[in-house]
Amino acid sequence: AKKAGRGQYRFFDQSLNLRDVEQFHLEQSFSEALHNREFVLHFQPQVALDSLQVCGFEALVRWQHPRFGLVYPDRFVPLAESTGFIVPLGLEVVRLACEQIVAWREQGLPPQVVAVNASPVQLAQPDFSERVLAILAQHGVGPDRFDLEITETSILDSTALAHLEALRAAGMSLSLDDFGTGYSGLAHLEAVPVSKLKIDRSLVAKICNRHDDSPIVSSTIILAKRMNLSVVAEGVETREQVVHLTVAGCDIAQGYHFSRPMPAAEVPAFLAQFGRA
Ligand code: C2E
Ligand code: CA
Ligand code: CA
Ligand code: CA
């Protein structure tokens, strides 16, 4: 079966492959999976480049599937978006992040800020901000423990913008994700209540060594600072990139150089060890 558009399948195509069959099964089992609590979050540290301290974690969803094992979001988030399943899934992610913040607190960890991804499909729902704030309140988690990562698509939509204003007013910080992959540039950002800019890893990957400067990254950082935005670099994999980003004035780095996303249970040991290193 070949994908014939958003969430539709043509079953008369000869090129039936395993991946399509898998996608079909994934779509069928979404609601069951939610009910069985098969979605889990992994956490990737964000490191402040001035102090080299962990300043937060990005929560990244995975599907612990009984038959397919650990399934990564690239394999099911697009499908969840086209079927609308991302709406309940997104709320489940907020719930899981709250549960984790509370659990870490109970384990005696210093309070952690968790960044959660929100799809434009979620932000187009009329009750998005209301429901997110209700979940936080239910768990006794302050909105200032949360950072919402949104993409460019959402800053061009009036419903989404109203939600962003409401969340910002409640004390949540907002980050513009994947910056550099869209089309709008920084000019569009003036009307948007984001406080952070995440430079996409495709741009960060262009920083290869100390001598090979990436003018796009450095000028993005300069402009962002001029607009009072903090800059987060994602996909940081090498020491050279850390050095370059630090010199260029980037505030926060995230990537395999520091750590891959890890299960919540590994976070306390990571924090203890990272602080000492
Ligand atoms: P993203 O928001 O841009 O997240 C960053 C992705 O880059 C993550 O992939 C992360 O594991 C990966 N990454 C981090 N550091 C490095 C590095 O140094 N090198 C490389 N090559 N990759 C790195 P992941 O976890 O597979 O997530 C993929 C995408 O799925 C995310 O991209 C995000 O768009 C989406 N996603 C993940 N969780 C959620 C969620 O809860 N809700 C929504 N709506 N989307 C999510
Ligand atoms: Ca993200
Ligand atoms: Ca990103
Ligand atoms: Ca990305």
Per-residue pLDDT of the chain (277 residues; tens, 9 = 90+): 444 555 454 544 555 666 777 777 777 789 899 999 999 999 999 999 999 999 999 999 999 999 889 999 999 999 999 999 999 999 999 999 999 999 999 999 999 999 999 999 999 999 999 999 999 999 999 999 999 999 988 888 899 999 999 999 999 999 999 998 876 677 778 778 999 999 999 999 988 755 556 788 898 999 899 999 999 999 999 999 999 999 999 999 999 999 999 999 999 999 999 976 5
Residues 6+ apart with CB under 8 A from 49: 242, 245, 246, 250, 251, 252, 253
Residues 6+ apart with CB under 8 A from 103: 264
Query: In this structure, what are the phi and psi dihedrals at residue 47, rounded to the nearest 5 degrees?
Result: -115, 125
Element (H, E) at 56: strand 53-65
d(CA 276, CA 126): 46
Q: Is 60 in the pocket of ligand 1 (CB under 6 A)?
A: yes
> Residue 6 is encoded by which pair of tokens?
């958003």
Q: Is 74 in the pocket of ligand 1 (CB under 6 A)?
A: yes
Q: ipTM of this predicted complex?
A: 0.98
> Residue 161 is encoded by which pair of tokens?
């913008």
Point out the ligand 1 atom lying closest to the alpha carbon of residue 81: 44
d(CA 85, CA 247): 42
Q: Which residues surround ligand 3, an ion (CB under 5 A)?
A: 177-178, 234
Residue from 238, 235, 90 nearest 160 by CA: 90
Q: Give the global pTM.
A: 0.91
